[in-house]
Amino acid sequence: MSLSGSGVIAIWNDITDEGRANFYEWHDREHIPERVGIPGFLRGRRYIALSGTPEYFTLYEVEHKSVLTGADYLARLNSPTEWTTRSVQHFRNTSRSLCDVELSLGAGSGGFIGTIRFDSDPARDAELLKAISGSILPEVAKAAAISAAHVCRADESASNVKTAEQRGRAANMVPRWVVMVEGATREAVENALSTHLSDAALRDLGALEAQQGIYSLQFDLVDAR
C-alpha cells in the first residue's frame, strides 16, 4: 500500500487572485501543519495544476476514515483560527471528499499526480470498483515511471457534515469516487489517464461527468510523531 493509511481527504479548489499570496503562507505555515498535528493524520500534500481544474489539489492521508469523523478533527473544524476563517473566504470551485481507500498500489509517491473525480449510479458501484481495482489500476501500476495508483470512495454523510469552517466558504461538491495516479514524469501520468482511465473507459463502467487533472507537487508534510 503506497498511501500511509486507509482514509484520505481529497480537496480541489481555486483561490481568488487577491487571496493567493496569503493562501501559500497560511496553507504552508499553519493549515497543513495544524491538520497533520491532529491524532491519526499522517501526511498532507498540496499540488498545483499543470492541466485541468481547479488550480490546487490537497491530499491528507489518515490512519482510518474514522479519524475524519472523530472528536479531534471535528473540534478543529468547529474552532477555526482567525487566519483560517479569513483564508477560506477566498476559496472557489471547491470539491472535498472524505474517503475510504479501496485500493492503493505502488512502491512510493511521485512528483506528479493525476486525479479523476466522478459520480456514478450506486447500482453500478460494485461493477465499477471491481474493474478499477481488479484490472485497471494493477495494469496502470506496472507502467514505466508510475509510482502509485489509488481508488477511493467517499463517505457522503461524513463529507457533508456542516462545520464552522465550512460555513466560512462557499458550499463544495462531494465527488463519490476519486482515482489517483502518481508518477515520476508528467508524461507517464498523462498516458495512464488518457488510455486505461480515459473518459470513455470510465463512462463504460458507469462513471458520470469524470473530471481529470494533472498536478505537480508543491508542499509535503509528514507526521513526525
CA-CA distance, 115 to 217, in Å (whole number)?
13
pLDDT for 225 equals 67
CA-CA distance, 133 to 193, in Å (whole number)?
15
CA-CA distance, 208 to 176, in Å (whole number)?
10
pLDDT for 129 equals 97
Give the structural domain span for 170.
7-222
Give the Å distances, CA to CA, from 140 to 5, 74, 121, 136: 21, 36, 24, 6
CA-CA distance, 181 to 147, in Å (whole number)?
8
In a domain, 66, yes or no: yes
What single letter denotes the amino acid at residue 65?
K
Q: Cβ neighbours of residue 45 under 8 Å, at least 6 residues apart?
A: 58, 59, 60, 109, 217, 219, 220, 221
Express each pLDDT in 53-79 by its tens digit: 999 999 999 999 999 999 999 999 999
Q: In terms of Cα–Cα distance, which of 148, 136, 64 is closest to 100?
A: 64
CB hemisphere CA count around 152 (13 angstroms): 37
Give 29's DSSP letter: I
Confidence check: pLDDT of 115 > 80: yes
Task: Indicate the pLDDT class of residue 166, thresholds 50, 70 and 90.
Answer: confident
Strand pairing report for 41-51 and 91-106? unpaired
pLDDT for 87 equals 97
Express each pLDDT in 131-155 by its tens digit: 999 999 999 999 999 999 999 999 9
Contact, 196 vs 140, CB < 8 A? yes
In a domain, 32, yes or no: yes
Confidence (pTM): 0.96
In a domain, 2, yes or no: no
Contact, 12 vs 95, CB < 8 A? yes
In a domain, 190, yes or no: yes
Task: Indicate the pLDDT class of residue 23, thresholds 50, 70 and 90.
Answer: very high
**Residue 181's domain is classified under what CATH number?**
3.30.70.100
Q: What's the total number of domains in the chain?
A: 1
CA-CA distance, 145 to 206, in Å (whole number)?
29
In a domain, 1, yes or no: no
